[in-house]
Structure formats: structure tokens, C-alpha cells
């Protein structure tokens, strides 16, 4: 793979303005094949901040640890970052565009030193700089709980000491007083909503449980694992529901209070609603969106959720995973989620898209302020060397490569 750039490598192929910042674009051309030659685009920031072959293309780094894959530099498998490139205070956003938008809120970098940016081969963008003098990172998380899992675990692996993570996303407002354009904060924590495929399996009259699978009362295959019968609809009606909800997981109370106060200061207290969040495993079925193409059996789901959780205000797909992992991080992560109400599920109204950017800026400002003001324990680096970096160093030393243990932080 090589970079093709004409006129003495000046950024003249194309460029665009992104919120006042010029993002140059380079052509990246993989090696030719007899019947195929592809050309892709990569931004100048990607070229300058990382090895282009690690960002896009067919050639991948070599990973040796299947348990927690990192390459020889200590870069993680999905996010592609290593120790020193991610700050302990992280703003998690859904899209790459939102990450780029909110990066304009960061302190201007020193002359000749652009903000650190790295786009991984999986499409995760990490931007690291400072806000009010404090190191922060903005990370595009994409959608769904598995992607949030990548972001939390892999950032935890390359950051020393305690961390704080604020998610800023979009959501549906489930009930009043939450309304279009409000900032909905998961101060009361989050619940998970999961579509239970076994419900539909038990509806099938041809279903028979496998022998020896622990099903039924005696594990002899004569009953279903949930206590129902294996003969079709009777099993589904024996107490199993098509959608399962978890108990709430808490948000960090200190970070939640800071975020609520900062959000109220930015947009006004009447545009901030605190309550319980729900994170679904689907944009459609487990969020109560109905249609005729699939047998989702979710017509009454939203009403059931509101009845069971009167403080429920927001519905999306990521916050539960963030809060659940923070809870299980042995005290090393403080986390909270906040969303812009993009839709009113109770009225079926949708926010005008032209208004979204202003709300993203407002929410991002509040989130960054909360992040830099929440106190974090500053454990000495020697005592908290990241697992990924330590693993990479051990692997390199095993191959006879001299390893420099000192970490270079991109915000210094």
C-alpha cells in the first residue's frame, strides 16, 4: 500500500470545510491486482496521526493474544489506540460527524500541533486534546451495546488511573415531561430491554427440546428451561414474555449531578429532564416500533415499560452497557449518559434535523464541563500500567526487541 499525492505531496486532491477547520483528503491506493484497482479516501489527520496501513487497506497488524488482542505497539483491536493517545476523561458520541463537530469546542492546539485524531479500521474515531486545560478525548461509539462494549473496555485497557465517561447521544422521549429537544439525563440509571427469541421458539408447534440440555424440571428434556411446556404456544404462555427487562444499573451520582447542573446552565433548567433510561437491543422491536413485516408482538411494550417504571424518560441503545461496565469496573470508571430527545414516542413527533447541531453543541458543552470538573483519583502511572501496554511490551521483549517504557502523551 502506498499514498498517492501529486504536486510534491501537497493536499490538493480535495478538501472540505468542517466547522471552520479544513480537513484535507488523500488518496490511498492499495497494490494493483490484474483485474482490480481500488482507490479509497483518508483524511490528512489520519495520515499524520497514524500508519495509514493500520487505518485502512487489506494489510492488518499482527495480533497474538486472542483473549484481548493488541498489536506490537499495544494498539487495541477495534479502536486502534494505545496508551498515551486516550485521556482519562472521555466524551462518547454516536457518529464520526458528531465527534468532529464537538472537537471544535476543545482548546486551540499549540501552533504546529493539530489535535490528535485516529480513525481505526473499524471506523472508530478518537480525537484527543484539552478542554479548559484538562486532557479529554472524544470517541465515536456508533450504535448499540456491543460497540459501547468495545469503547469502554478498550479505552480502559490503555488509560492509567480512574476514568470518567459521559455519553452524549440521541433518544426517544418516552413520556412527559420529556419533549423534543430536551436534554434527558440518566440520573436514575438505566435498564436493558432484550427481545427474547425463546418466546418465539416456544410458539412453534414443532419445537422439541434437546435431551440432556437441562430443560424442564428434571433436566430430562420434557419441559422448557423457563418452566413451561415444550408443545408450542402453551410454553410461551406459561409465564414467558417476548421482551425481558433488567433491573436498573446506577449512574455515578457525582458525575450525574455535575452534568445536570452544567446542562441546566447551558440550555436552561426547563430543557433538562432527569430520570431513568432504557437501552434496547434493537431500534425497532424492543423499542416498541410496530410494523407488518415481522411478528414482533410489541404493540403494548412502551405502555408496559412506563407502567413498570414511572420515572422512565429516554429510550435508546447504548447507555445501559456504559453504566453496567462502569459498575463492574471495580471503581475505576465514573459514567453517566445524556441524550438529545430526537423523537417523542408518545406523540410520534420527530425533531427538525436542522435544530440538532445546535443541541449537540449545547449538550457537548455541558458534557465537557462536567468531565473536566469531576474529581478523579490520580494513581501513579507505575502502579497502574495498562494491561494492553504491558502485554505488548512483554511480547516485544520476548522477541528480543528493546522496549521503551516511557509513555508519550499526545496532549503534552
Domains of the chain: 60-195+245-398 (3.40.50.1580)
Q: What is the dihedral of CA 217, 218, 220, 224, to 10 degrees?
A: 10
Phi/psi for 152 (5° steps) reads: -70, -50
State yes or no: cis peptide before 177, omega within 30 of 0: yes
- Supply the pLDDT for residue 234: 57
Q: Which three cell numbers stand for residue 359?
A: 443541541
DSSP for 364-396 reads: HHHHHHHHHHS------GGGS--HHHHHHHHHH
- Residue spans of alpha helices (H) in 81-193: 96-103, 145-158
How far apart are alpha carbons 245 and 247 in whole angstroms? 7
How far apart are alpha carbons 368 and 201 in whole angstroms? 46
Q: CA nearest 164: which of 382, 372, 378?
A: 372
Q: What is the dihedral of CA 261, 265, 267, 268, to 10 degrees?
A: 90
- Supply the pLDDT for residue 164: 99
Q: Is 114 helix (H, G, I), strand (E, B) or coil?
A: coil
> Of how many residues is the chain composed?
412
How far apart are alpha carbons 221 and 214 in whole angstroms? 7
- Supply the pLDDT for residue 61: 79
How far apart are alpha carbons 104 and 116 in whole angstroms? 13
How far apart are alpha carbons 295 and 277 in whole angstroms? 26
Query: Cell 511490551, residue?
Result: 393
Contact 180, 351 (CB under 8 A): yes
Instruction: Please state the pTM of the whole predicted model.
Output: 0.77
Q: Is 260 helix (H, G, I), strand (E, B) or coil?
A: helix
Q: Is 191 helix (H, G, I), strand (E, B) or coil?
A: strand
Q: Which three cell numbers stand for residue 240?
A: 414467558
pLDDT per residue, tens digit, the chain (412 aa), is 333 333 333 333 233 333 333 333 333 333 344 444 343 444 444 434 444 333 433 446 788 889 999 988 989 999 999 999 999 999 999 999 999 999 999 999 988 888 999 999 999 999 999 999 999 999 999 999 999 999 999 999 999 999 999 999 999 999 999 999 999 999 999 999 999 999 999 888 666 766 544 444 433 333 333 333 333 455 455 678 999 999 999 999 999 999 999 999 999 999 999 999 999 999 999 999 999 999 999 999 999 999 999 999 999 999 999 999 999 999 999 999 999 999 999 999 999 989 999 999 999 999 999 999 999 997 644 334 444 444 444 444 445 444 445 788 998 8
- Helical pair 253-267 and 356-373, crossing angle rounded to 10 deg: 140
Contact 388, 71 (CB under 8 A): no
How far apart are alpha carbons 321 and 381 in whole angstroms? 27
Which stretch of DSSP H or E encloses residue 340? Answer: strand 333-344
DSSP for 305-325 reads: HHHH-TTEEEEESSHHHHHHH
Q: CA nearest 163: which of 332, 342, 401?
A: 332
Q: CA nearest 144: which of 110, 193, 189, 109?
A: 193
Amino acid at each position: 500500500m502506498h499514498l498517492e499525492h501529486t504536486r510534491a505531496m501537497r493536499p490538493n486532491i480535495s478538501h472540505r470545510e468542517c466547522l471552520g477547520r479544513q480537513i484535507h483528503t488523500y488518496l490511498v491506493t492499495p497494490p494493483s491486482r490484474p483485474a482490480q484497482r481500488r482507490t479509497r479516501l483518508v483524511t490528512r489527520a489520519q495520515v499524520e496521526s497514524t500508519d495509514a496501513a493500520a487505518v485502512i487497506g487489506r494489510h492488518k497488524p499482527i495480533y497474538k493474544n486472542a483473549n484481548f488482542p493488541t498489536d506490537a505497539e499495544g494498539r487495541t483491536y477495534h479502536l486502534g489506540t494505545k496508551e498515551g493517545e486516550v485521556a482519562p476523561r472521555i466524551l462518547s458520541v454516536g457518529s464520526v460527524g458528531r465527534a468532529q463537530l464537538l472537537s471544535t469546542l476543545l482548546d486551540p492546539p499549540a501552533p504546529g500541533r493539530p489535535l490528535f485524531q485516529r480513525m481505526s479500521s473499524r471506523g472508530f474515531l478518537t480525537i484527543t486534546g484539552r478542554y479548559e486545560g484538562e486532557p479529554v478525548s472524544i470517541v465515536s461509539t456508533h450504535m448499540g451495546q456491543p460497540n459501547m462494549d468495545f469503547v469502554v473496555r478498550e479505552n480502559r485497557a490503555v488509560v492509567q488511573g480512574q476514568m470518567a465517561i459521559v455519553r452524549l447521544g440521541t433518544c426517544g422521549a418516552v413520556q412527559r415531561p420529556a419533549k423534543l429537544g430536551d436534554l434527558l439525563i440518566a440520573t436514575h440509571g438505566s435498564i436493558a430491554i432484550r427481545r427474547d427469541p425463546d418466546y418465539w421458539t416456544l410458539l412453534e408447534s414443532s419445537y422439541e427440546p434437546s435431551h440432556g440440555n437441562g430443560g424442564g424440571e428434571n433436566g430430562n428434556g420434557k419441559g422448557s428451561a423457563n418452566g413451561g411446556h415444550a408443545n408450542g404456544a402453551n410454553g410461551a404462555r406459561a409465564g414467558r414474555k417476548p421482551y425481558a427487562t433488567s433491573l436498573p444499573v446506577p449512574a455515578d451520582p457525582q458525575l450525574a449531578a455535575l452534568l445536570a447542573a452544567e446542562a441546566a446552565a447551558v440550555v436552561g433548567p426547563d430543557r433538562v429532564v432527569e430520570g431513568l433510561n432504557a437501552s434496547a437491543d434493537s431500534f425497532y422491536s424492543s423499542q416498541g416500533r410496530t410494523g407488518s413485516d415481522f411478528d414482533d408482538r410489541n404493540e403494548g411494550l412502551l405502555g408496559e415499560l412506563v407502567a413498570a417504571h414511572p420515572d422512565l424518560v429516554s429510550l435508546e441503545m447504548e447507555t445501559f452497557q456504559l453504566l453496567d461496565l462502569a459498575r463492574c469496573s471495580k471503581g475505576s470508571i465514573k459514567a453517566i449518559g445524556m441524550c438529545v430527545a430526537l423523537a417523542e414516542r408518545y406523540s410520534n413527533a420527530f425533531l427538525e434535523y436542522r435544530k440538532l447541531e445546535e443541541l449537540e453543541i449545547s449538550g457537548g458543552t455541558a458534557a465537557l464541563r462536567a468531565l473536566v470538573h469531576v474529581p478523579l483519583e490520580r494513581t501513579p502511572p507505575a502502579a497502574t500500567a495498562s494491561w494492553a501496554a504491558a502485554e505488548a511490551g512483554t511480547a516485544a521483549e520476548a522477541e528480543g526487541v528493546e522496549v521503551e517504557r516511557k509513555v508519550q502523551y499526545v496532549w503534552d
